[in-house]
């Protein structure tokens, strides 16, 4: 990636974290009001979730700022793994919110309580929350498309679960108001289980990054196709890939005709590297030229 493109990646990632924190704060304020009016445990569930969203998004903001710092003497490969650590932190926040919610829901199932007045306000707040969350997710998707940021992916994941949570709360409010009051707690219990499931996805991706997991097979096949497309390439071997934050690292041995001069071989490697750099927003490619006999 050229130096002129790098500031755009940093800017997009920073604005994504600012948007996340701002959205979560606005939703907390509106949900506090709705909870006081309705005393709904499912609204309390989304309030707890949004409160921890703020903490998770703040962790994300700090981690992204750190991850975007350039490589230095102590961190020659940059600070990208701070994003994976942020993902782990978010997963812990999300799991904690699910645990609190499980306790609240269990208590309401054992001791059901009639919901207070304010059904319209509760539903209105949930619809507003869904619209705000959908706008944030759309922007995050745009940022991910241009940066492939793990931290923003993790942030988007738990906001996507919020969409389902808010929709289910609307159903729970209607069922509780016009039917059995226990529906409110039952839906809250289901939301908590779903939140735990989403947290595991974040943990898995973060562990993969921390353990230098290979890129997906599709990306590796694209790399191979680009390398072999060059007319002077005879093959490749020992392809190794990994990702650290937004930075992708590619290493490979490029097989070239042994009769080529060093200058010609180097030029071909540079051309292949340039083609590979178009695959990802930020990438570092290391190519070792191997001479082979061509029949």
**Tens of pLDDT, residues 122-159:** 788 889 989 999 999 999 899 888 877 767 877 787 78
State which H helix or E strand residue 79 sits in: none
* Eight-class DSSP state of 241: E
Are 101 and 124 in contact, with CB atoms under 8 Å apart?
Answer: no
pLDDT exceeds cutoff 70 at 106? yes
Query: What CATH number did the domain enclosing 269 receive?
Result: 3.30.70.1350
Number of domain units in the chain: 2
Q: Is residue 151 part of a domain?
A: yes
Work out whether strand 282-292 and strand 247-257 pair parallel, antiparallel, or are unpaired.
Answer: parallel
Nearest 5 degrees, angle CA 32-CA 37-CA 38? 100
In a domain, 241, yes or no: yes
97 and 137 share one domain:
yes
Convert the pLDDT of each residue in 227-256 to its tens digit: 999 999 999 999 999 887 667 889 999 999
Token code pair at residue 9:
């990646």
- At 259, give phi and psi (nearest 5°): -85, -5
Residue 55 domain-assigned (yes or no): yes
Residue 1 lies in a domain: no
Q: Which domain holds residue 206?
A: 6-210
Same domain? For 75 and 160 the reply is yes
What is the three-class DSSP state of 242?
A: strand
Stronger pLDDT, 84 or 25, i.e. the higher one: 25
Beta-carbon contacts of 97 under 8 Å, excluding residues fewer than 6 positions away, are 48, 49, 51, 52, 195
C-alpha torsion sign, points 198, 202, 207, 209: positive
User: Per-residue pLDDT averaged across 54-71, rounded?
Assistant: 69
Let me know: does 35 contact 47? Beta carbons within 8 Å.
yes
Asked if residue 78 is part of any domain, the answer here is yes
Q: What is the pLDDT of residues 2-27, one digit of tens each?
A: 444 444 777 887 888 888 888 888 98
């Amino acid at each position: 990636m050229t130096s002129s493109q790098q500031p755009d990646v940093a800017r997009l990632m920073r604005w994504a974290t600012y948007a996340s924190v701002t959205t979560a704060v606005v939703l907390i304020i509106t949900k506090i009001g709705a909870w006081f009016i309705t005393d709904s445990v499912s609204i309390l569930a989304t309030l707890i979730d949004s409160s921890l969203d703020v903490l998770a998004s703040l962790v994300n903001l700090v981690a992204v700022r750190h991850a975007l710092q350039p490589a230095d003497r102590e961190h020659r490969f940059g600070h990208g793994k701070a994003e994976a650590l942020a993902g782990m932190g978010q997963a812990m926040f999300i799991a904690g919110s699910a645990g609190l919610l499980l306790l609240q829901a269990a208590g309401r199932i054992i001791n059901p309580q009639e919901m207070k007045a304010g059904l319209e306000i509760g539903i209105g707040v949930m619809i507003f929350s869904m619209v705000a969350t959908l706008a944030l997710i759309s922007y995050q998707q745009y940022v991910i498309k241009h940066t492939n940021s793990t931290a923003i992916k993790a942030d988007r994941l738990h906001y996507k679960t919020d969409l389902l949570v808010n929709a289910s709360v609307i159903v729970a409010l209607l069922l509780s108001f016009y039917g059995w009051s226990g529906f409110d707690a039952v839906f809250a219990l289901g939301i908590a289980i779903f939140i735990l499931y989403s947290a595991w996805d974040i943990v898995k991706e973060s562990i993969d990054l921390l353990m230098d997991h290979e890129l997906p097979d599709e990306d590796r096949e694209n790399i191979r196709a680009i390398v072999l497309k060059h007319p002077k390439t005879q093959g490749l071997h020992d392809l190794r890939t990994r990702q650290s934050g937004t930075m992708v690292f590619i290493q490979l041995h490029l097989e070239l005709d042994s009769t080529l001069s060093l200058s010609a071989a180097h030029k071909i490697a540079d051309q292949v590297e340039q083609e590979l750099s178009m695959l990802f927003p930020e990438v570092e490619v290391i190519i070792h030229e191997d001479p082979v006999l061509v029949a």
